[in-house]
Structure 1
Amino acid sequence: MKLKDYSILILLILTWSISYAQSYQISGTVSDNITGTAIENVAIYDKNAGQLAITDINGKYRFETTQKELTLIWFSYEYVVLEESLTINNDIIKNVQLQQLGEELTAIELTVRKEKLFQLERLKDVEGTSIYAGKKTEVVLIENSTANLAANNARQIFNQVAGLNIYQNDDAGLQLNIGGRGLDPNRTANFNTRQNGYDISADVLGYPESYYAPPAEGLQSIQVIRGAASLQYGTQFGGLVNFVMKEPHQSKPLELITRNTIGSNGLYTNFTSLSGTSGKWSYYTFFNYKKGDGFRPNSQFESKNIYAHVGYQFNDQTKVTGEITYLNYLAQQAGGLNDRQFEENPFQSNRERNWFEVDWFLYNLKFSHDFTEDTKFTFNAFGLQAQRNALGFRT
């Protein structure tokens, strides 16, 4: 074959690749079918891949796709869910009108609608600068969860994630113990654990045990990705668990939320958060305090957790954020029981001297810039100063 023939063949391959990867733009306006007014904050979902866009204050939305067939869902709490299948051959302007709910929903009906929304949530193949194509993913939406968030109850929080093994060895969710694919859940050592995309375990490769679990009341979602990915997020066989913290409130300069919870066995928790946006600055911070006596003697605990996030938006494409997290807890351990002791009295304790203390300090600086919709850059600088102490006695 001559050189000219090779050139024609390469040109044909490049032309085919470009046309194969062609993306189409879907845009439109969502309005009320009676009044014709624009509807803000309507979420548009791909039924198989998850959320694609959300309408702005003028009811407008826009996204790009390379798929030829899409089943789109328009969702708003005040309107009937609209589902429609599209065949895409070029750019499409799709204007829709939503029908208002004609009856007042009870709390139970609202929960059902939230569960429907939860079932749609999956990570897309590309999220920011992370690639999840070919991975089994689940996203736990904390807002839709019916779990006891004050107690950080892992069995309730992860109850819709199939295939997880869960240990529960404390009374307030101080220590997360989950494992996947039949792996040992102890201290979540077989998952790479992250917070907002950066590592929070002691040593990712040498000592991957995680002694810090973010409080559920400060979380927006929990991403669970199965299977190791080597350089992308660590070599652990179980995969990745990424805790996504709540974001600053976009429309208020100051939002204050405080919750106090009292429970059995002397349980008391306080969660207080501040959030807001002013100009190009945004912030979110919380303080979480827990204490209790445990359901067995010699199992008291006390925990203090502080988190602070500050962001500065240079423009629509460029943003820098900084975060710090501090956790300190001291827990007395009641000791194990053999089979005979458990049969006699499962609530007894034969140890007074065992204590466990964790001192965890995380810091992160992140710079992100979007050159185009398909070309993004993210730089993360993070560190951990931490220690844990197993004390055989305490005076």
Structure 2
Amino acid sequence: MPRTRLALALAAALPAVLGARAAAAQDTTPPAKELPRVEVRDRARDDTPAKLDHLMKEVDGARITVTKKTTVTKLDQQPTVIGNNPRELLVRSPGLLVSEQQTPTQFNLSYRGIGNPQESEYTLVMQDGLPIMSDWIGFPTLYYLPLPQNVEEVQLIRGGSSLLYGPEPAPVVNFVSRRPQPGAPLSGVTENVVGSHNLVSSYNALEGTAGPWEFRADAAWMRSDGPRDNSDSRVRNADFYLGWRPDERQHWGLDLHAYRAEAGDAGRIGFPQWQANPDLTVTPANRNWVDRTSLVLSHEREFGDAWYFEGKAWTGYQDLASRSAAGFVPPQPPPTSTTLQDEQFRTTGTDLRVRHRWGRGNAFTAGTVLYHADAPFRQWTSPDLAVDRYDRSGTPRLRQQRSSDYAAVFAENVFRLPHRIHIVPSVRIEHERVAVDESVRPPFLTRPLIDTAASRTVPLFGLGIGNDFGHQNETYFNVSQGWRPLRYFDIASPFANLRPTGTLDPSKSLSWEAGVHGTPVAGLYYDASVFWIDFRNRIETQRINATDVINVNSGDTRHRGFEGELSYDFLARGDSGQHLVAFASLSLLNARFTASANLAQIGLIPAYAPRYLAKAGLTWRTDAGVKLSLTGVSVASQYWQDSNQPKGAGDAFLPAKIPQYTVWDLAGDWQPTPWLRLLGGVANLGDKRYYARVWQTGLEPADGRTWYAGAALSF
């Protein structure tokens, strides 16, 4: 029986076997051949979430930032910044020096000892990648900053910043505006705060999305009596953003920014006066006004074949007005006249960029910038020390028509090479023209009326090299050129009796930086670099006699040192929703004059070049809505003028150095319910008595201990 079953099974299987052999005989496909094994590796990206809490993306839109030293401060990770406190706003921006003043009508920043921080003239400050200086080329002063509540993050870009964005040696400080998240429902907040010096502040915002549309609108006002008589201030701010996303590949945006600030000017005082009474007021009638409006149209689009376009067109108007009379201290008699000044700036520009991703990780960017400004400058004298800012009944003292034009083309490429090496060559060609046409000169001058213009074409080059050597660590090296454009005052001083004798050479910088940064373990970020900057053809004012001054290319300076930062989240490995972050940064600087028309100047230290600038803090934040920060800034003593000499005598005496100071700030937010957030803080916690800003006319006292408290309601 078993044999019968086996025979039946074989008989049943035989046709299938024969069919398979026949098919095999007809199949002419050669047998499969095993190929050599190929292992494909891609470079570890720098754009990981942990790193992006501290630095910018390697390719950020149409900008290449890899090999450029960058720092990002995300304001959602720290308590709300209230009032006029850029020291606290920029505490996580290493090496950036804030030269403080008590009123919010101008802002003074400098970096690595390059240039006086007065009105941030040597630092390019931007909002959403566009300059917010009064006149980017002819008068690059800073009289406006966006409110911290409107800012998502602060970007600080060093080496290569001039090749990325344009004039000023370094760095770029870019404030990135808040935007509603795609698909977010309608929401709003009203935040109201009171504090020292009768501070009252109100901030209100509404945002949301509806299909392809998104919007954000805010309005704010702030008032303070200030620490001194005639140091009161009033600030009003409004912003509106409208966005349209017709599809996932493109975006249109419209931004409107309006800002108005008014503040008294209590005057600068001498060192003996500051020692006796830091709240002394010497100019009880002086006042400053700032009105600023800008409109920006932007467009982003992803095209096929890995092409991307980003374009912005903007127009703006700014009016700077001031009323200034000579200082006096009773029983001295008050001055008999005041000077009313008005400077207007009408600006327009376009910034167009493209990016093309090619190969494996390579990216090419190119673009152009066009800019024009008209900047009329007028002065009157009046016997009324409290003359209204719009009163034109006084005696004309000065009238100039000024204009500036600027154009640039630029290109960069990041090449990804084997062994995780990347190289970024850069080139930028820039052209500027500034012109001054004078119709009224000050009555104490006898020179002819000014009618002059100057133009320059400046090529800039740069090279960056980096290597990702594993575990989220990367080395970077950057060498790049930068420059400072000629200003209106550089080609013709309106208050000197000497005629312009020729066009100055623009100041240029050559910056070298090499460093390493990374996030090797959870919660840890570090960045350490050494730098060397040669700054040539410095433009300075030289006094010829009691009346006359001239602007000359006076010499070269060298700036070298170390800059590092460290941040560690002690709770990063846990899942409790809490973060305890300690951070610190240190900038060590050695700066010297290496050449000068005045041989005695060689070897001296440039003004505002402290040998160290340290910032540190500890922040505790939770997903439940608690943010508490203790932050501090420590600045070494520094000369306030390049001569390294004191100035004046008697009550007007000014020591050669600004003394060292260390200041601590405490701030906190607590959200006990989803709709309520409580705010509070103390600035200058130790009530440090110090000053950080000196000008030829005196020093400006820094504020003592101040506090604020308030609440925000959300829906």
Is 2:333 aligned against 1:381? no
The alpha-carbon deviation at position 175 of structure 1 amounts to 3.3
The alpha-carbon deviation at position 217 of structure 1 amounts to 0.9
Structure 2 CA distance for partners of 1:118 and 1:275, relative to 1, 3 Å: farther
CA–CA distance in structure 2, aligned partners of residues 239 and 162 of structure 1: 11
The residue aligned with 1:263 is 195
CA–CA distance in structure 2, aligned partners of residues 71 and 195 of structure 1: 25
Contact 1:364–1:381 (CA under 8 A) maintained in structure 2: yes
The residue aligned with 1:139 is 72
The residue aligned with 2:109 is 178
CA–CA distance in structure 2, aligned partners of residues 380 and 73 of structure 1: 28
Match of 1:162 among 75, 94, 111: 94
Q: Which amino acid aligns with 1:164?
A: L
The alpha-carbon deviation at position 131 of structure 1 amounts to 1.8
CA–CA distance in structure 1, aligned partners of residues 242 and 166 of structure 2: 27
CA–CA distance in structure 2, aligned partners of residues 230 and 163 of structure 1: 18
CA–CA distance in structure 1, aligned partners of residues 313 and 46 of structure 2: 39
CA–CA distance in structure 1, aligned partners of residues 84 and 175 of structure 2: 13
CA–CA distance in structure 2, aligned partners of residues 294 and 317 of structure 1: 49
Structure 2 CA distance for partners of 1:307 and 1:340, relative to 1, 3 Å: same
The residue aligned with 1:329 is 261
Is 2:337 aligned against 1:345? no
CA–CA distance in structure 2, aligned partners of residues 259 and 118 of structure 1: 31
Match of 1:394 among 359, 362, 386: 386
Structure 2 CA distance for partners of 1:339 and 1:205, relative to 1, 3 Å: same
Structure 2 CA distance for partners of 1:373 and 1:123, relative to 1, 3 Å: farther
The alpha-carbon deviation at position 118 of structure 1 amounts to 8.1
Comparing 380-389 and 245-254, the one that deviates more:
245-254
Structure 2 CA distance for partners of 1:191 and 1:73, relative to 1, 3 Å: closer
Secondary structure of the residue aligned to 2:164 is coil
The residue aligned with 1:121 is 54
Q: Which amino acid aligns with 2:70?
A: T
CA–CA distance in structure 1, aligned partners of residues 53 and 74 of structure 2: 11
The residue aligned with 2:148 is 216
Contact 2:46–2:57 (CA under 8 A) maintained in structure 1: no
Structure 2 CA distance for partners of 1:231 and 1:71, relative to 1, 3 Å: closer
Contact 2:220–2:236 (CA under 8 A) maintained in structure 1: yes
Structure 2 CA distance for partners of 1:254 and 1:166, relative to 1, 3 Å: same
Comparing 155-164 and 214-223, the one that deviates more:
155-164
Match of 1:354 among 286, 289, 295: 286
The residue aligned with 2:405 is none
What's the TM-score, normalizing by structure 2? 0.38
CA–CA distance in structure 2, aligned partners of residues 71 and 253 of structure 1: 32
Structure 2 CA distance for partners of 1:355 and 1:252, relative to 1, 3 Å: same
Structure 2 CA distance for partners of 1:138 and 1:229, relative to 1, 3 Å: closer
The residue aligned with 1:19 is none
The alpha-carbon deviation at position 313 of structure 1 amounts to 0.3
Q: Which amino acid aligns with 2:155?
A: Q
Structure 2 CA distance for partners of 1:388 and 1:71, relative to 1, 3 Å: closer
Secondary structure of the residue aligned to 1:343 is helix
Structure 2 CA distance for partners of 1:218 and 1:265, relative to 1, 3 Å: same
The alpha-carbon deviation at position 119 of structure 1 amounts to 8.1
CA–CA distance in structure 1, aligned partners of residues 48 and 175 of structure 2: 27
Could you give the per-residue CA deviations for residues 81-114 of structure 1, whole angstroms, max 9, x where no partner exists? Answer: xxxxxxxxxxxxxxxxxxxxxxxxxxxxxxxxxx
Comparing 366-375 and 157-166, the one that deviates more:
366-375
The alpha-carbon deviation at position 230 of structure 1 amounts to 3.8
CA–CA distance in structure 2, aligned partners of residues 120 and 292 of structure 1: 34
CA–CA distance in structure 1, aligned partners of residues 141 and 159 of structure 2: 17
Contact 2:46–2:58 (CA under 8 A) maintained in structure 1: no
Is 2:252 aligned against 1:320? yes
Contact 1:249–1:275 (CA under 8 A) maintained in structure 2: no
Could you give the per-residue CA deviations for residues 338-381 of structure 1, whole angstroms, max 9, x where no partner exists? Answer: 01111111112121111010010111000110115842101110
CA–CA distance in structure 2, aligned partners of residues 213 and 343 of structure 1: 31
Secondary structure of the residue aligned to 1:232 is helix
CA–CA distance in structure 1, aligned partners of residues 134 and 47 of structure 2: 42
Contact 1:200–1:384 (CA under 8 A) maintained in structure 2: no
Comparing 276-285 and 346-355, the one that deviates more:
346-355
Contact 1:178–1:187 (CA under 8 A) maintained in structure 2: yes
CA–CA distance in structure 1, aligned partners of residues 199 and 294 of structure 2: 27
More strand, by proportion: 2
The residue aligned with 1:54 is none
Secondary structure of the residue aligned to 2:176 is strand
Secondary structure of the residue aligned to 2:196 is coil
CA–CA distance in structure 2, aligned partners of residues 73 and 221 of structure 1: 17
Contact 1:329–1:359 (CA under 8 A) maintained in structure 2: yes
Could you give the per-residue CA deviations for residues 114-155 of structure 1, whole angstroms, max 9, x where no partner exists? Answer: xxx688421122100112232111111111124x51214211
Residues 167-246 of structure 1 aligned to structure 2 (within 5 Å): 167-171=99-103, 173-183=104-114, 184-227=116-159, 229-230=161-162, 232-246=164-178
Query: Structure 2 regions of 5+ residues with no counterpart?
Result: 1-39, 325-384, 388-715
The alpha-carbon deviation at position 266 of structure 1 amounts to 0.8
Structure (1 or 2) with the larger CA radius of gyration: 2
Structure 2 CA distance for partners of 1:72 and 1:266, relative to 1, 3 Å: closer
What's the TM-score, normalizing by structure 1? 0.68
CA–CA distance in structure 2, aligned partners of residues 122 and 343 of structure 1: 42
Structure 2 CA distance for partners of 1:275 and 1:373, relative to 1, 3 Å: farther
Secondary structure of the residue aligned to 1:329 is strand
CA–CA distance in structure 2, aligned partners of residues 71 and 189 of structure 1: 33
Is 2:217 aligned against 1:285? yes
Q: Which amino acid aligns with 1:195?
A: Q
The alpha-carbon deviation at position 159 of structure 1 amounts to 1.4
Contact 1:274–1:286 (CA under 8 A) maintained in structure 2: yes
Identical-pair percentage = 25
CA–CA distance in structure 1, aligned partners of residues 46 and 68 of structure 2: 21
The residue aligned with 1:28 is none
Match of 1:130 among 51, 63, 73: 63
Comparing 368-377 and 272-281, the one that deviates more:
368-377
The residue aligned with 2:208 is 276
